[in-house]
Structure 1
Amino acid sequence: MKARVLVIDDNADVAKAIGVLLHLNDIDTHHAATAKAGLEALNSSPFDLVIQDMNFSKNHTSGEEGIQLFQQIRDNFSDIPIILITAWTSLETAVQLVKSGASDYLSKPWDDDKLLVTINNLLELAQLQQAHRQHTLERIRQRDSLSEQFDLCGIRYQSDAMAQLLRMTTQVANSDVAVLITGPNGAGKEKIAEVLQANSPCKDGPFIKVNVGALTPELMAAELFGAEAGAYTGITQRRQGRFESAHGGTLFLDEIGNLSMDGQIKLLRVLETGEFQRIGGNEDIKVKVRIISATNSDLSAAIAAGTFREDLYYRLNVIELNLPPLHKRKADILPLAELFLANKATLSEEAVMALKQYHWPGNVREVKNVMQRAALLCQNQLIKVSDLGLELQQPLKIDASKDDEINANDIRRAIDEAGGVISDAARLLGLGRSALYRRMKKFGIDEN
């Protein structure tokens, strides 16, 4: 389909000259002689780009008419690229409008070759932006579809990494295979275990959680397998272990990487035979339990070091679900922050940027603590950067007036600090979104 360009100019000769040039390059044009006619044209049919004059009335050279039209187009058609046509008297105004979001400006008389290059570049960028919008909409549809089909246990997310993990989580939830959840402390491994349980065939059964890494070797067997009355000092009646309590449901073994070697041997025996005995008993007990385990340790390294049994690892790790640290899924930061604020306060724009810039070594748990603190300390229910109490890195500072000073590393860093949000990255660099897209294309940077 041909690209469509709207020329808004009271000078019919200007519109005709541009129209002929674009027609020869397989681009359709439509001419509107007034600002009002231009807005009506935009409302009635789609255009890929607008070329607008800065003055529409005789003896008017201030550019005020062009400013008003630009603002009206930008307010109602925020994504369409706009090229300004200007004489020397309104050049300064055009430059200011470019800083406010206009794509480019042409000085009369213009160079046809340069105009054509500019238009083609902008049309290509518009296609990229449209593809990005479609990709974003598709992600939203997939996220909505996932939440409609499955119980996500209140998880808030926006990142592709989390969406992929949740798709895999819900896919394996319906089986009874052992799942190992890996990831750093505070990232939300227990929440992933809850999603597995909530969407499993045993979702109506018990969900028993135990931090096996906190158990001493002496307590481990009694905690997991139970004990008969009199089995050891102080126990006067039979004690049911976690395996029995989880019968017909799920047993979540957290911090499995810290389990003692003796505990690993006993756990492996149960996983291999499906049976165990209470301490002090001689009755073989058989239960039906789905095993989910989690660790923040590198179990492969622990196996190499001889501190974790390889055979147990393969029993526990039929499916591995890896939960990335929060700084690798920055798009999730703001949804999580708003979840933990629970409408008690609002984040200022500067606070939002600070949240995205911070590294979050404590992951989701740290976000929760920071939001609870900020909601208590802020004034008038508005959270400022000072209320967050975060040790922030030096913010990105680039002189956007000198194109050569903005390099590929600056752009990648800005996109990272903005959590992948291009409009926020553009603001960090002092650029318009279209200008940032042009530089991304120049350096071959993919926003994903």
Structure 2
Amino acid sequence: MSTLLIIDDNLAVGTALELLFSLHDLRTLHATSPEDGLAVLAREPVDLVIQDMNFVADTTSGEEGVALFHQIRQAHPDLPVILLTAWTHLEAAVELVKAGAADYLAKPWDDRKLLATVNNLLELGESRRQLAQTRSSERQRRSTLQRDFDLRGLVYADPASEATLALACQIARADIPVLITGPNGAGKERYADILHANSPVKAGPFVALNCGALPSELIEAELFGADAGAYTGAVKSREGKFEVADGGTLFLDEIGTLPLAGQVKLLRVLETGRFQRLGGNRERSVKVRVVSATNADLPALIAGGRFREDLFYRLNGIELKVPALAARPRDILPLARHFLPAGKRLDEDAERTLLRHPWPGNVRELRNVMQRAALLAPGDVIGSAHLALPVTADTAPPVGDEPDRAAIEAALARSGGVLAQAASELGMSRQALYRRLDRLGIARS
């Protein structure tokens, strides 16, 4: 139950307010002087203050109410204060609102308006407390991750990235294959590096192979090596990635492009730890942790006969999903600043443009945009025009007074998903925000 403190030397006013609030399940305390009110605040938790502007008989200046407000503000800067004022105190009350008072109401007050104001302020206060708790938890989790794990310099700020990172650190120490999934450019190799850096084989090599970057006839040689004469141009024996990664981690990117013949041999290595070089007949053994990644729909490839189901289950000991950049909007600006050279900065218009862009190319696209903008900007400040991003339905400015998708997602991200806080920041009611979320197809967290 929320607690309200009324500071008013008029007993009739205090009694009327106590009765009004008790009918709406609000606990009320009443102090009849500024000194008593400050004493109550010093010893009891209070959620909101309603204070009079005049406590001295035969005066109409409101100076004592102004002094009381500043004392409350100094001792309790986040405590909302509603001023009750006569018309003679109106100018002083307006100045106090500019100084941080929540609102002012003239005497005699309208019960419905007063209740609506109080409830809105209490709800906003609860949202702020939830947000503070969320951010405190985020800071604590981030501190723990940074203290206990090697994050390889990963730049992140979004809860979605934090959850992915926490899972990566949790599973890094387990001797189990990991399949990293996510769109191109989202940073799958960075997570593979983090898995290795926090694994029991971190002292060993980390070897990466992009299976989609080589012709199919060379994949097996890259994976397993080749003896001299195994194929045209093979004038001497060479080690494959498995041998190079022995005692460490082998990261196989774009695993969905691996030819079926290579899939068979890869499955055998995963099951036995043994293989033969291309063109050779001697079995070799290795101890390698395999981490693979794909942006493809492997179950669909399996259904089409292009990927072995048994290999899929062998690779997918546990799946680590890296979300698209658009699904973690709080990462956008920290990453953008990270990609800028020293001395360059973004103006507010550029930041808004970055938040509105859908980022189909994910982090890779953002890095390229920032590198290009740094070259195009003649000075230290990068504006929206230097980003050279196309204007689409998602990046266009909002129509009328309604916030666009980027503004809403950014507000939700800053509020930790607290809808009341996001609505207040956007200057709209919760009901209006609900309707806007539904129209844009944004899920309510």
State the TM-score, normalized to the length of structure 2.
Answer: 0.81
Q: 8 Å contact 1:158–1:331 — kept in the other structure? A: yes
SS in structure 2 at match of 1:51:
strand
Of 43-52 and 216-225, more deviation after overlay is shown by: 43-52
Q: What is the CA distance between 1:340 and its match in structure 2?
A: 2.2
Distance in structure 1 (CA, Å) of the matches to 2:105 and 2:255: 65
Distance in structure 2 (CA, Å) of the matches to 1:386 and 1:337: 15
Q: 8 Å contact 2:175–2:289 — kept in the other structure? A: yes
* Equivalent residue, structure 1, for 2:192: 193
SS in structure 2 at match of 1:420:
helix
Assess, with a 3 A threshold, how the Cα gap between structure 1 residues 20 and 171 changes in structure 2: closer, same or farther.
Answer: same
Q: What is the CA distance between 1:203 and its match in structure 2?
A: 0.4
Q: What is the CA distance between 1:179 and its match in structure 2?
A: 0.9
Q: 8 Å contact 2:134–2:416 — kept in the other structure? A: no
Q: What is the CA distance between 1:259 and its match in structure 2?
A: 1.8
Assess, with a 3 A threshold, how the Cα gap between structure 1 residues 39 and 148 changes in structure 2: closer, same or farther.
Answer: same
Assess, with a 3 A threshold, how the Cα gap between structure 1 residues 82 and 276 changes in structure 2: closer, same or farther.
Answer: same
Distance in structure 1 (CA, Å) of the matches to 2:345 and 2:378: 10
SS in structure 2 at match of 1:368:
helix
Assess, with a 3 A threshold, how the Cα gap between structure 1 residues 193 and 327 changes in structure 2: closer, same or farther.
Answer: same
Q: What is the CA distance between 1:93 and its match in structure 2?
A: 9.2
Stretches of structure 1 that go unaligned for 5 or more consecutive residues are 400-405
State whether structure 2 residue 397 is matched by structure 1 residue 420. Answer: no
How much identity, in percent, do the aligned residues show? 50
Distance in structure 2 (CA, Å) of the matches to 1:86 and 1:260: 80
SS in structure 1 at match of 2:413:
coil
Distance in structure 2 (CA, Å) of the matches to 1:388 and 1:13: 63
Of 2-11 and 218-227, more deviation after overlay is shown by: 2-11
Deviation track 1:180-237 (CA, whole Å, cap 9, x = no partner) reads 1010111000001001101111000010001111221211111111111233333332
Assess, with a 3 A threshold, how the Cα gap between structure 1 residues 7 and 395 changes in structure 2: closer, same or farther.
Answer: farther
Q: 8 Å contact 2:168–2:195 — kept in the other structure? A: yes
Q: What is the CA distance between 1:96 and its match in structure 2?
A: 10
Distance in structure 1 (CA, Å) of the matches to 2:96 and 2:360: 41
Assess, with a 3 A threshold, how the Cα gap between structure 1 residues 122 and 29 changes in structure 2: closer, same or farther.
Answer: same
* Equivalent residue, structure 2, for 1:403: none
* Equivalent residue, structure 2, for 1:324: 323
Assess, with a 3 A threshold, how the Cα gap between structure 1 residues 387 and 99 changes in structure 2: closer, same or farther.
Answer: farther
Distance in structure 2 (CA, Å) of the matches to 1:101 and 1:144: 33
SS in structure 2 at match of 1:276:
strand
Distance in structure 1 (CA, Å) of the matches to 2:71 and 2:245: 63
* Equivalent residue, structure 2, for 1:394: 396
Q: 1:353-364, aligned counterparts within 5 Å?
A: 353-364=352-363
Q: 1:19-418, aligned counterparts within 5 Å?
A: 21-22=20-21, 27-29=27-29, 31=31, 47-52=46-51, 58-60=59-61, 79-87=78-86, 103-112=102-111, 114-341=113-340, 343-378=342-377, 381-392=380-391, 393-399=395-401, 414-418=407-411
Of 69-78 and 105-114, more deviation after overlay is shown by: 69-78
Distance in structure 2 (CA, Å) of the matches to 1:131 and 1:425: 8
Counterpart amino acid of residue 140 in structure 1? R
Distance in structure 2 (CA, Å) of the matches to 1:313 and 1:356: 36
* Equivalent residue, structure 1, for 2:440: none
Deviation track 1:300-354 (CA, whole Å, cap 9, x = no partner) reads 1222222222222111111111111011111111222232236533333333333
Distance in structure 2 (CA, Å) of the matches to 1:361 and 1:60: 61
SS in structure 1 at match of 2:82:
strand
Q: 8 Å contact 1:347–1:383 — kept in the other structure? A: yes
Assess, with a 3 A threshold, how the Cα gap between structure 1 residues 442 and 385 changes in structure 2: closer, same or farther.
Answer: closer
SS in structure 2 at match of 1:106:
strand
Distance in structure 2 (CA, Å) of the matches to 1:201 and 1:29: 60
Deviation track 1:348-388 (CA, whole Å, cap 9, x = no partner) reads 33333332222111111122222333334446533332333
Counterpart amino acid of residue 415 in structure 1? I
Q: 8 Å contact 2:243–2:286 — kept in the other structure? A: yes
Distance in structure 1 (CA, Å) of the matches to 2:68 and 2:387: 41
Counterpart amino acid of residue 206 in structure 1? P
Assess, with a 3 A threshold, how the Cα gap between structure 1 residues 203 and 442 changes in structure 2: closer, same or farther.
Answer: closer
Aligned residues: 433
Distance in structure 1 (CA, Å) of the matches to 2:288 and 2:102: 61
Distance in structure 1 (CA, Å) of the matches to 2:379 and 2:156: 28
Q: 8 Å contact 2:22–2:28 — kept in the other structure? A: yes
Deviation track 1:390-427 (CA, whole Å, cap 9, x = no partner) reads 2352223454xxxxxx7xxx69774214452249999x
Assess, with a 3 A threshold, how the Cα gap between structure 1 residues 340 and 381 changes in structure 2: closer, same or farther.
Answer: same
Of 179-188 and 273-282, more deviation after overlay is shown by: 273-282
Assess, with a 3 A threshold, how the Cα gap between structure 1 residues 198 and 72 changes in structure 2: closer, same or farther.
Answer: farther
Of 40-49 and 413-422, more deviation after overlay is shown by: 40-49
Counterpart amino acid of residue 205 in structure 1? G
* Equivalent residue, structure 2, for 1:402: none
Counterpart amino acid of residue 383 in structure 2? K
Deviation track 1:109-128 (CA, whole Å, cap 9, x = no partner) reads 11335424532443244223
Assess, with a 3 A threshold, how the Cα gap between structure 1 residues 161 and 313 changes in structure 2: closer, same or farther.
Answer: same
Assess, with a 3 A threshold, how the Cα gap between structure 1 residues 444 and 112 changes in structure 2: closer, same or farther.
Answer: farther
Assess, with a 3 A threshold, how the Cα gap between structure 1 residues 280 and 48 changes in structure 2: closer, same or farther.
Answer: same
Counterpart amino acid of residue 213 in structure 2? A
Assess, with a 3 A threshold, how the Cα gap between structure 1 residues 425 and 161 changes in structure 2: closer, same or farther.
Answer: closer
Counterpart amino acid of residue 295 in structure 2? N
Q: 8 Å contact 2:131–2:418 — kept in the other structure? A: no
Distance in structure 2 (CA, Å) of the matches to 1:336 and 1:54: 49
Distance in structure 2 (CA, Å) of the matches to 1:310 and 1:164: 28
Distance in structure 1 (CA, Å) of the matches to 2:387 and 2:284: 52
Assess, with a 3 A threshold, how the Cα gap between structure 1 residues 217 and 372 changes in structure 2: closer, same or farther.
Answer: closer
